[in-house]
Amino acid sequence: MVSGEKEVRVFAPATVANVGPGFDILGMAVQGPGDTVVARRTRETGVRIAAIEGDGGTLPLDAGENTAGIAARATLQCAGIEGIGVELEIHKGLPLGSGLGSSAASAAAAAMATNLLVGSPLRKQELVEPCLVAESEVSGRHADNVAPALLGGMILVRSVDPMDFLRVPLPAGLLLAVATPLLERSTKEARRVLPEMVPFRSMVRNTANLATLIAACFSGDVGLMGRGIGDEVVTMARAHLIPGCEGVIRAAEDAGALFCSISGAGPSMFAFCYSRRSAQGVAAAMVAAFRSVGEVDARAFISPADCPGARCL
């Protein structure tokens, strides 16, 4: 006998992934924008999507082609539940193709809502796998967006086969400035430009930077974090896909950012900052740089670095 709520509403936040040298392994939740999914029980068996708002009519209503629908189905399968009906409403608060984990937020919200709807047979950590199934259909089998979207904070994904991840502590008071140009970029396109071979010295430097970044997080050393977040492989390969990318990075660092880089597959960009005043100046500088260098409008927001993941509304 399946118990649970008749209707559940869950919000999942935007995420910044590929943090510095942590390509496909480091992601973090941010505060502000996100997706909301409403799930309700129906008499008709299976998962269906009743409506999508905020996507401009571009996302599929077919549950088998939408990350929310796929995640909901995979959640029921992981829980071993059959013969029930789930209807979803998706309210998109994230722009598509922004590099802020839009598909992951929908998947995380749908998985958590579906699990709550049927009595929470799965722990929150166990919902990462159904979300990963959904992400695999859209942008590849990586969990650096879905894991923080569900669990919050910064997550290091050691492996997806088998699933193995851990939460990384963040220095107190650390902030992010995030700027999103009004452009859309495909994750698949951004992955196609990545090099198949990486120079040995670049691999060594990126490995050293990643180790330094993790050490800074566990020690709470903000200054050390600024020294350990450089990436000369993925960021360099993708910079040409984002108009004004290099100018935005220079503007952010000149305004006081500890570091600035591409969020996920882009075109959003993020910067670590040590104070709210600094973050405000950096956010303004990033927006201005997009306009002056890339000739595109951009929007920015500021978020604490350590933020909660998916939650009921």
Q: Which of 15, 75, 180, 187 is catalytic?
A: 187
- Alpha-carbon gap, residue 65 to 86, rounded angstroms: 16
Q: How many CA atoms within 13 Å lie on the side-chain side of 235?
A: 24
Task: Determine which helix (DSSP H) or strand (DSSP E) holds 37, and give its type and residue range.
Answer: strand 26-42
* Secondary structure in 3-state letters for 40-68: EEECCCEEEEEEEECCCCCCCCCCCCCHH
Q: How many residues are listed for the chain in this entry?
A: 313
The token duo for 138 is 């859209």
The token duo for 146 is 């879905």
What string of DSSP letters covers 129-182? HHHHHHHHHHT-S--TTHHHHHH-SEEEEEEETTEEEEEEP--TT-EEEEEEES
Q: Which of 135, 180, 212, 235 is catalytic?
A: 135
Which class for 75: exposed (0-12), middle (13-18), buried (19 or more C-beta within 10 A)?
Answer: buried
- Alpha-carbon gap, residue 11 to 196, rounded angstroms: 37
Task: Determine which helix (DSSP H) or strand (DSSP E) holds 130, and give its type and residue range.
Answer: helix 128-138
**Does 44 qualify as catalytic in the annotation?**
no
**Does 135 qualify as catalytic in the annotation?**
yes
Catalytic residues: 135, 187
